[in-house]
Amino acid sequence: MTIHVIGAGVTGLSFAKASKDEVTILESCERIGGKALSYKVETSVGTFGFDVGGHWFHYQSTPAVLDILQGLDLKAHTRKAFVYLHERFFKFPIQQSYIWHPDEKFVGNVKKELQLANSDHEYTNYEDMLQQSYGLTLYESFFKDYNSKMYGIHDLSEIGVGRFETIRNVRTNTNVTGYNGDFLYPQGDTGAGGIPLFLADHLQINYNKKVTSINIKNKTMIINNATVSWDTIVSTMPLNSLVGMVKDVDDHILALSKQLKFSKGMILNLGVKKTRLQGDMSWVYFPDPHLHFYRVGFYSNVESSLAPLGYCSMYVECSPLFFGNKEEALALVPTIIKELIEIGFIHHADEIVTTKAIYLDHNYCLPDTSKTKVIHHYLESAGIYSIGRYGSWHWSSQHEDMQQAWDLANKLALRDLSNSQKMRTKVILSL
């Protein structure tokens, strides 16, 4: 049996690597990696390396995925992250560093509220989870605006909790490092793209093969105008796009998929002269509702070969609260650069060597398991498995996507084994 895998990002590649079946990988682009790709820019001062925003490998909740990456040169790093609050940098996580805030009333309130935080509470939505976990003072000063800017949604009670809390232990843990205190990153100048490159080794990828339509009843799909038969599909494209592509889909499923919420994104990559303020920071969170970005990070502070000596390769994650489409997003670039200069991450516009803005149609999928469970069940009963951050419709990271791919490959192998045993029993009985 051949399994058609849609997408050669980390999820599709991990599935193909783990699968015991024959696999055909279809990738609409001419390169692998999906969101986890990297690129280089040659300039007069040397070579800069960039990813699509920080792609740090946080493996703690799924250590088994490291087996898949055995042989890849991954270096461990300790997170040096900060929160820029009230014009000061506080070490992340803020629920520990708030004690350095100069306002005693603020410190007293946060302390009191953190002591009252209710760990047994059943959260009804994302806003509830943040308020119950951190108290109202930290919620109002950091979590509310930061999360709204990141997910592009003002009312956080519209977001489900999903599996966020159990996976990431974002609560008021006293553990200094928190859930992502250490992370891995490929050593050398490959950037995060070194991971998909490693996964793709020995796999045959069919590039420029875009799936444009799927038919469940006939079990056919259209790839670049050609009709192809399929038996099982593993899709990593966004779930709403996948459902929209199924020509004979149930109206109810289509209606559910149209209700799924997600954010668009824009990453602004910059190669700039190194400033003192950049120091050795990994990344910084920005809750200030007036700033047009929610996070800024520094690739070359983690892997120095990603920028020439005396320079830095950095990324800015821009908030979708300020744009509705690509044109509007790109128009924000000069304002964002001005804000970076005001903060001190860049001294002067003349010190910017290279910039690239990357617009993302899908950045964060806002989990809504009451709908996605129904959609996934429908698709799976037709032989279509939708996995990965965009396929499962969750805010997962690479390691969780890889684990999901690995688990599915094993599940399908068991299914095939049990089918072939049933066939054998049938043959024996009919003899």
Ligand X SMILES: Cc1cc2nc3c(=O)[nH]c(=O)nc-3n(C[C@H](O)[C@H](O)[C@H](O)COP(=O)(O)OP(=O)(O)OC[C@H]3O[C@@H](n4cnc5c(N)ncnc54)[C@H](O)[C@@H]3O)c2cc1C
Q: Which amino acid is at 375?
A: I
* Nearer Cβ to ligand X (57/98): 57
CB atoms near residue 79 (< 10 Å) = 19
Minimum distance from residue 365 beta carbon to ligand X (Å): 10
Size (the chain), residues? 431
Minimum distance from residue 132 beta carbon to ligand X (Å): 26
* Nearer Cβ to ligand X (94/200): 200
Structural contact between residues 418 and 26, judged by C-beta atoms closer than 8 angstroms: no
Minimum distance from residue 337 beta carbon to ligand X (Å): 19
Phi and psi angles of residue 185, each rounded to the nearest 5 degrees, phi first: -155, 140
* Nearer Cβ to ligand X (109/206): 206
Binding site for ligand X (CB under 6 A): 6-12, 26-29, 34-36, 52-58, 210-211, 236-237, 265, 267, 317, 360, 363, 388-390, 396-399, 401
Q: Which residues contact 226 (CB under 8 A, 6 or more apart)?
A: none
Minimum distance from residue 13 beta carbon to ligand X (Å): 7
Minimum distance from residue 344 beta carbon to ligand X (Å): 24
Structural contact between residues 248 and 217, judged by C-beta atoms closer than 8 angstroms: yes
**DSSP conformational letter for 63:** G
What distance separates the 2 farthest-apart alpha carbons in the chain? 85
Minimum distance from residue 131 beta carbon to ligand X (Å): 26
Cα separation of 69 and 348, whole Å? 41
Within 13 Å, how many C-alpha atoms sit on residue 261's CB side? 15
Strand ranges in 283-369 using DSSP code E only, listed in sequence order = 283-285, 293-298, 311-318, 352-360
Minimum distance from residue 208 beta carbon to ligand X (Å): 9
* Nearer Cβ to ligand X (13/307): 13
Q: What are residue 314's DSSP bridge partners?
A: 270, 298
Q: Which residues contact 407 (CB under 8 A, 6 or more apart)?
A: none
CA 202 and chain centroid, separation: 25
* Nearer Cβ to ligand X (274/394): 394
Minimum distance from residue 135 beta carbon to ligand X (Å): 27
* Nearer Cβ to ligand X (195/307): 195
* Nearer Cβ to ligand X (267/337): 267
Torsion of CA 410, 55, 166, 383, to 10 degrees: -30
Tokens at 39, concatenated = 């690129």
Minimum distance from residue 18 beta carbon to ligand X (Å): 14
Structural contact between residues 24 and 2, judged by C-beta atoms closer than 8 angstroms: yes
* Nearer Cβ to ligand X (110/159): 159
Q: Which amino acid is at 402?
A: M
* Nearer Cβ to ligand X (53/308): 53
